[in-house]
Chain A
Amino acid sequence: MSRSGRADAGKTGGEGETGIMNAYEKVMTARDGGRPTGSDYIKNIFTGFAEMHGDRRFGDDPAVIGGIAYLGERPVTVIAVEKGHSAKERAYRNFGAPSPEGYRKALRLMKQAEKFGRPVICFVDTSGAFCGSEAEERGQGQAIAENLMELSTLCVPVISVVIGEGGSGGALALCVADRVWMLENAVYSVISPEGCASILWHEPGRAAAAAENLCLTAQDAQTLGVIEEIVSEEDLGEPAFYERLRERLEETAEELSADPELLAARYERFRKIGRL
């Protein structure tokens, strides 16, 4: 972000009537159960997906799917947070709220990608890391911290796409990447607008106002220098949509694989945000 790079330009307030969604409408859209989930992206963009389970420490977290697949001709490691579609699957996937085991599985597979020189592609869609006593007992904070630290020097290209909700540290743990993209109606935020409204104003009902002020839309995130690209939702979920995204991922994986300054650029990518 440049010194003068303020986010107001991206604020979408008061445009609801003109057909452009306001921030809270985007939050609702991002959460919509009808949107494609992580596994839809894996199915439609890659070929030969081989799923790998488990963190080799404690368990296998169904909220995070990981494995190896082909992106065009190139083998890549794919990680996706999965919310599930049916009520039953949503419960099984813990509504896309990863446990420490999910982050550790992701890191294990990313380290494997590094060993074999494969790019890593992440699809992020979570309201946040699982908020429960078991997650705390097994080190939710430690698991996220380790991912942030290790991903900062992972020697292969990492591309992360926020496809729905990018909920705080639980999303960031899969977004320490060379390129972060967001779908046009995805959101990425330090706290849920409801949480923000209830802490700041003790009124969860003022979530819409909080959403506006948190600058959590893709457009805001781009203005703040947090993401590089906004992915158009034209034909969302249709073959044309996935084809466009696959092409863009292929080009970018190619470009990043050839970059000798990859890690220096990744460091600077985050170093510059909030530089004073």
Chain B
Amino acid sequence: MAELFHFLKPKNKLEEGGRAAAVQQDDGEPEKVCPNCRKHIPMSQLWADKLVCDCGYHFRMKARQRIRLIADRDSFRELYAGLETEDPLRFPGYREKLETAGHASGESEGVVCGTAQIRKQAVCIFAMEPQFMMGSMGSVVGEKITALFEYAARERLPVVGFLVSGGARMQEGLVSLMQMAKTSAAVKRHSDAGLLYIAVLTDPTTGGVTASFGMEADIIAAEPGATVGFAGARVIEQTTRKALPKGFQTAEFTLRHGFIDCIIPRKRQRGALAALLAMHCR
């Protein structure tokens, strides 16, 4: 499937153009510019196409949009809504950042969790929120993911997760680092109970989230062109002073190196997930 998307510009090139293409408010309808092909796309069309450009570029998507796209209509029941961090380090400026992130995203934290049905199959589902501090994992994200896997193990449900994360949330220091171990232990218990976990890595999935529940699923899928990696590309370039290979840390790169199972374009995700879930029905 990777070959289908070779016409996507390599990541490094994309970043030059600015990935977060702003909404252009000309005289007519609001539109977005595709950072890959530079086409102007009216918002109404972009919504109809699930935020995917004709060229194959997948725009980032909010957590609740993802869930709406994947879950059966009105089947989503949220769990652990409204949990807020205790700011364990009292890190300067963190409270203000949280507030800004809350306004920007309309969410109280970096992940939305709950139960849902996907073509009538019951699942636990989580979707991370790119507009909330880039889905970084602090105590709340760690707690919600852990609690969801524990719930899924108790109720004997599969877990479907949509990941997007810049990694650990440094404002929570060691508490944030420990969430990697905490979530991993919960994933392991769920797995040892013989239950299925499917992760869909979206742009970007990096750092401590890749190095914990991102890479621990039974089936790891990714969206075309998504950045998937551990260390940031810029940090690697600064450290090693070597140019990175073309398409470094794209989903296609990660697939080629054997670390994900498949790349599933957004339009096919609901069907593909339903089919995979059905294959694990007992």
Binary per-residue interface labels of chain A (214-232) against chain B in the complex, 1 for a CB within 8 Å, 0 otherwise: 1110001100101000000
Q: Write the nearest CB–CB distance from B233 to chain A, whole angstroms.
A: 9
Complex formed: what's the CA distance from A216 to B230 in Å? 22
Q: Write the nearest CB–CB distance from B215 to chain A, whole angstroms.
A: 4
B68 at the interface (CB under 8 A from A): no
Q: Write the nearest CB–CB distance from A18 to chain B, whole angstroms.
A: 23
Pick from A200, A215, A273: contact of B178, CB below 8 A.
A273
Of A25-33, A34-42, A80-88, A133-141, which binds chain B?
A: A133-141
Complex formed: what's the CA distance from A138 to B259 in Å? 8
Binary per-residue interface labels of chain B (186-204) against chain A in the complex, 1 for a CB within 8 Å, 0 otherwise: 1111011000000000000
Of B1-9, B58-66, B134-142, which binds chain A?
A: B134-142
Task: Select from chain A the residue with minimum beta-carbon distance to B242.
Answer: A133
B239 at the interface (CB under 8 A from A): yes
Total number of A residues with any Cβ neighbor in B under 8 Å: 56
B211 at the interface (CB under 8 A from A): yes
Binary per-residue interface labels of chain A (242-262) against chain B in the complex, 1 for a CB within 8 Å, 0 otherwise: 000000000000000000000
Complex formed: what's the CA distance from A13 to B161 in Å? 41
Binary per-residue interface labels of chain B (119-160) against chain A in the complex, 1 for a CB within 8 Å, 0 otherwise: 000000000000000000011101100100000000000000
Of A44-52, A113-121, A187-195, A233-241, which binds chain B?
A: A187-195
Measured between beta carbons, the chain A residues less than 8 angstroms from B213 are 145
Q: Write the nearest CB–CB distance from B179 to chain A, whole angstroms.
A: 6
Complex formed: what's the CA distance from A117 to B140 in Å? 36
B236 at the interface (CB under 8 A from A): yes
Find out whether the CB atom of B92 lies under 8 angstroms from the CB atom of A169. Answer: no
B257 at the interface (CB under 8 A from A): yes
Measured between beta carbons, the chain A residues less than 8 angstroms from B258 are 139
Measured between beta carbons, the chain B residues less than 8 angstroms from A56 are none
A112 at the interface (CB under 8 A from B): no
Cβ < 8 Å to A, chain B residues 73-113:
83-86, 88-93
Total number of B residues with any Cβ neighbor in A under 8 Å: 63
CB contact under 8 A between A149 and B244, given known A224-B174, A276-B140: no
Find out whether the CB atom of B235 lies under 8 angstroms from the CB atom of A190. Answer: no
Find out whether the CB atom of B211 lies under 8 angstroms from the CB atom of A148. Answer: yes
Complex formed: what's the CA distance from A226 to B90 in Å? 17
Q: Write the nearest CB–CB distance from A261 to chain B, whole angstroms.
A: 15
B225 at the interface (CB under 8 A from A): no
B270 at the interface (CB under 8 A from A): no
Pick from B88, B142, B181, B240: contact of A6, CB below 8 A.
B88
Of B10-18, B43-51, B165-173, which binds chain A?
A: B165-173
Complex formed: what's the CA distance from A118 to B115 in Å? 41
Q: Write the nearest CB–CB distance from A194 to chain B, whole angstroms.
A: 11
B185 at the interface (CB under 8 A from A): yes
Measured between beta carbons, the chain A residues less than 8 angstroms from B170 are 190-191, 196, 199-200, 214
CB contact under 8 A between A140 and B88, given known A135-B231, A189-B173, A270-B178: no
Q: Write the nearest CB–CB distance from B252 to chain A, whole angstroms.
A: 13
Task: Select from chain A the residue with minimum beta-carbon distance to B236.
Answer: A131
Binary per-residue interface labels of chain B (226-251) against chain A in the complex, 1 for a CB within 8 Å, 0 otherwise: 00011100011001101011001100
Complex formed: what's the CA distance from A81 to B65 in Å? 44
Find out whether the CB atom of B143 lies under 8 angstroms from the CB atom of A131. Answer: no
Q: Write the nearest CB–CB distance from B214 to chain A, whole angstroms.
A: 7
Find out whether the CB atom of A168 lies under 8 angstroms from the CB atom of B184. Answer: no
Find out whether the CB atom of A226 lies under 8 angstroms from the CB atom of B174. Answer: yes
Q: Write the nearest CB–CB distance from B146 to chain A, whole angstroms.
A: 7
Measured between beta carbons, the chain A residues less than 8 angstroms from B211 are 140-142, 144-145, 148, 169, 173
Starting from the known contacts A176-B181, A276-B140, 4 additional A-B residue pairs (CB-CB under 8 Å) come to A190-B170, A200-B170, A270-B178, A274-B182
